[in-house]
Structure 1
Amino acid sequence: MTLMTLLLLMILFMVFFIYFLQLNPAEMAIVFYPDHVLHASPAVVVVACIVLGLTIGYLLHLYGAASYLFKGWRRTRSEKREREVTELHREGLARLRSGDSTKARRLLQKALGMDGSRIEVLSDLAKVQLAEDEVDESISLLQRARKLAPKNLTVLFALAETYSQTQRLSEAEDCYRELLELDGDNYQGMIGLRDLFLTQQQWSEALALQKKLVKKSSGEAQVAEKDLLNGLRYQLAQQAEAEEHFDEALADYQKLAKDAPDFLPAQVSVGAMLLQKGRSEQAAATWQAGYRRFGHSVFLKRLEQQAMAEEDPTTLLNYYRQQVAEHPDDLLLRFFFGKFCLRVEMIDEAMEQLHTLEKSCADFPQLHLLLAESHMRRQRLSDAVAEYQKALGGEDRFRFAYVCSLCGAGAVSWNGRCEQCGCWGCMELSEVPATANLPAPEVREIHHGERE
């Protein structure tokens, strides 16, 4: 509005006021409160009301404008602080990825000091402190984040993982359960709780979760989850066996062997349970079928143990002779055949099988141990010493260690599950070949007593 327009409006207002005052010369009484009466012209009252209204309106306008400016200032300040906190957080994460945890901690603490309600800053600072073995401080930060956002799944998962890593398993279980109550289909939450049950050997609870995980997974992940499902079923059957519920254990083993025919431990345990119940012929048939399917040394070991326990070597010897005739290139079969012959004092046949192995370019400590023992039985001391030297100091002549094919952990006897990494069916006989993918030996006449 220009100055000229304002002057014209004021002049028009004064003209209107004078005209209205001339038309209403009388005065009117206005009572504010008892004993206080104001006498004024109606024109003055009208003008006073108009001026008062304009003044109030203008003051309200000033208040609104000031409030808007103040809110804008606060918003600008908050946005600036948020940008600074975000930048500090981003830089702290970059430092953490580069391995500079000290600088990362300083930046994240500064960001947290500027805005203590940032959940992601609290979580990442907790990771830094956990990496530096400041467990209590890490948990304290995560609990603080949990109070700020009780239903934040990321915070609950991080807190559960931290509890698990620090062996506070009951608190970890509570966090996982709360997470699954908020999101019953949370895949990572189910995996975390399942792994927690595995750690505590709570097979039944782990199996219930594993069934859900198999349904939710697909492709290669589903194959791995099914393998773990079979392993958990095997552990439940073993638990029933340990509690002397033999009928239940046998039924579980047989069902598992039927549902998962490639699951080796079930086949081994079916034979063991049949033998335990006095069904020795069925046990032997089960282990023989297991060896035909898997080609694993544990089946031959169990057959040998059964033959020695029942003092009936003839049946096993006939089995070995038949299988060697049908599969002459099976080095593992020849090795166990020779070892068993040595145990039952059939020295000549034992040496025949062991020398066949040696001529096939097989070279492992257990073979030399058995050859040394054979020479000792024939009083060929120099040959025995030579074989012992090849064995590099092996001491136990009839017990051979097993190793996990996945993690390399050793065990004196075969187990269905590796105690180190938890893999089922991974225990292999140490340093003994399973198949004969070896070059054919040169055929030439070997005279009696000649050594290559």
Structure 2
Amino acid sequence: MIMILIALLVLTFIVFAVGFLYFWGVNPGDITIFLTNDLSYTLPAAIMLVCVLLVGLLIGNGVHFLSAFLYSFRHWKGGRRLKKAEEVGSIYRSGVGRLLSGDLKQARTLLKKALDRDPQRVDIYLAMASVALQEGNTPEGIELLQQARKLDPQGLEVLFKLATTFEESGRREESMAIYKELLEGDANNRKAMRALRDIQIDLGSWQDALTLQKRILKTSKSGSKVETEKKILLQLRYEIAHSDLADGGRDQAIEVCRDIIKKDATFTPARVTLGDAYHQAGRDTDAAKVYQDGYKALKKSVFLARLEDLYINAEDPAALLAFYRSQMQVDSEDMLLKLYLGRLCLRLEMVDEAMEHLTDLETSGVDFTKLHLLLAEAQRRRNNTEEAIVEYQKALSIDGHLLLGFVCEACGARLTEWHSRCPECKTWDSLVLPERKQIQDAKLIETPKMIPHGSLEG
């Protein structure tokens, strides 16, 4: 192989020499090159050609060498950056892993190390903010998110996390400002619109929330959330109508509530408020019809309560009694109606009929405090003292042992027996006496002690 290479070099030299001699032979003249007015060089044409070729080769090789050097340098520098990025990424992933496992102290150490190595990585700031927020250090979390925002002013993840943190810390105005900024950049960002809408709902800004809800529906023409968004639209329209009614705008409230009922006949608040608006307008007959139709359609107790207030205030309990009885003929097993009918009969001193309806409830397995109080009152009016006492004891959950019971401090569940762990919320060591705090905080009041007769010394 080496011999072949040497032979090629010798052949190349021979060809070049022959070509040089030939060129010199056919171009015997000299060439003069002036570098300045006073400086010049005169050389044979063949030698001048060789010099030009050599200079060209030298420049070409120099450019090639410089290009190769720059490429190698950039490759070396890029390799270092890549290696650094890999090292920082590895530390960052370890920190996030410790964060997810709940080891906040180790997570902070690793993420701080990664941030020191590369202070331009937004994801590290986000992870550090999560650590601070989980530690309960909200100001530090917000500061870290603000730094991330400076590095990536338009980053959706940064802006959403910062807005959420502001909202959770009670800084709603700043949270709303960020959501509005997001919507300026992306007017159809449904997540931002929903978040801003929810804040406005919490603040009671019904009109602003309604305007946003209409925009949300325009961008949500299909999908699983469309029906939910339509219901929210009706709910917001209702809140505005309810506010209008409170401000004296009865006619507008009536119009909106009627339209809402047409679109969603199961929306109870619209029916109740429509009846209230009619009542305020002095149209009690229309109000009664709305309440009656509402109960017939939805079986909600609020309609019976409204009817009772309407008829009792109008001193017309007979009309209410007639409605209750007519409905009982339609559905004799309507237990909710039996409860209200029994209570009405008790108020009207129709004790026997009241006992009939209330007893039907009790024998059907219904058991709650108010029912036993009504039964106790009915028995008392019958002068059945013993039976009344029994019902009062049931209402107060009093048994023969006078058990005081226990309540869970975590979830409020009431239990007759103590458990090491609450059966409802599964919290350990949380069952205490319901009145424990009241008893512990009480202070004994000094009162004069009774002196037994005959204990005084003469």
User: Which TM-score applies when normalising by structure 1?
Assistant: 0.78
- Residue in structure 2 matched with residue 286 of structure 1 by the alignment: 290
Does residue 317 (structure 1) correspond to residue 321 (structure 2)? The answer is yes
Over 3 Å counting, the alpha-carbon distance change for 1:351 and 1:25 in structure 2 is closer
User: For the residues of structure 2 that align with 1:162 and 1:35, how far apart are their CA atoms?
Assistant: 81
Matching residue's letter, 2:67:
G
Quick check: 2:33–2:42 contact (8 Å CA) kept in 1?
yes
- Counting only pairs closer than 5 Å after superposition, residues 339-358 of structure 1 correspond to structure 2 as 339-358=343-362
Report the alpha carbon displacement of residue 26 of structure 1 after superposing the two structures with TM: 7.6
Moved more, 279-288 or 118-127: 118-127
Does residue 120 (structure 1) correspond to residue 133 (structure 2)? The answer is no
Where 1:2 maps in the other structure, the secondary structure is helix
1:249 to 229, 250, 253: 253
- Residue in structure 1 matched with residue 112 of structure 2 by the alignment: 109
Partner deviation per Cα, 1:387-426 (whole Å, 9 max, x = no partner): 11110179xxxxxxxxxxxx99xxxxxxxxxxxxxxxxxx
Partner deviation per Cα, 1:121-141 (whole Å, 9 max, x = no partner): 333332232222232333333
Over 3 Å counting, the alpha-carbon distance change for 1:14 and 1:262 in structure 2 is same
User: For the residues of structure 1 that align with 2:273 and 2:292, how far apart are their CA atoms?
Assistant: 13
Aligned pair count? 396
Report the alpha carbon displacement of residue 367 of structure 1 after superposing the two structures with TM: 1.0
Partner deviation per Cα, 1:172-221 (whole Å, 9 max, x = no partner): 22222222232232222222122122122211222222234345165653
User: For the residues of structure 2 that align with 1:27 and 1:320, how far apart are their CA atoms?
Assistant: 132
1:237 to 241, 245, 250: 241
Moved more, 20-29 or 123-132: 20-29
- Residue in structure 1 matched with residue 75 of structure 2 by the alignment: 72
User: For the residues of structure 2 that align with 1:38 and 1:28, how far apart are their CA atoms?
Assistant: 8
User: For the residues of structure 2 that align with 1:178 and 1:57, how far apart are their CA atoms?
Assistant: 56
- Counting only pairs closer than 5 Å after superposition, residues 51-450 of structure 1 correspond to structure 2 as 51-214=54-217, 216=220, 218=222, 220-392=224-396
User: For the residues of structure 1 that align with 2:142 and 2:282, how far apart are their CA atoms?
Assistant: 56
Matching residue's letter, 2:225:
A
Moved more, 39-48 or 307-316: 39-48
Quick check: 2:31–2:48 contact (8 Å CA) kept in 1?
no
User: For the residues of structure 1 that align with 2:43 and 2:249, how far apart are their CA atoms?
Assistant: 110
User: For the residues of structure 2 that align with 1:39 and 1:359, how far apart are their CA atoms?
Assistant: 133
Quick check: 2:338–2:357 contact (8 Å CA) kept in 1?
yes
Where 2:102 maps in the other structure, the secondary structure is coil
Report the alpha carbon displacement of residue 300 of structure 1 after superposing the two structures with TM: 0.8
Report the alpha carbon displacement of residue 246 of structure 1 after superposing the two structures with TM: 1.6
User: For the residues of structure 2 that align with 1:360 and 1:26, how far apart are their CA atoms?
Assistant: 132
Q: CA RMSD in A?
A: 3.0
Matching residue's letter, 2:314:
E
Sequence identity of aligned pairs in percent?
A: 41
Moved more, 6-15 or 201-210: 6-15
User: For the residues of structure 2 that align with 1:148 and 1:304, how far apart are their CA atoms?
Assistant: 64
User: Which TM-score applies when normalising by structure 2?
Assistant: 0.77
User: For the residues of structure 2 that align with 1:50 and 1:221, how far apart are their CA atoms?
Assistant: 77
Higher relative contact order (CA 8 A, sep 6+): 1
Unpaired runs of 5+ in structure 1? 395-406, 409-452
Over 3 Å counting, the alpha-carbon distance change for 1:9 and 1:356 in structure 2 is closer
Moved more, 172-181 or 112-121: 112-121
User: For the residues of structure 1 that align with 2:372 and 2:28, how far apart are their CA atoms?
Assistant: 138
Matching residue's letter, 2:330:
E
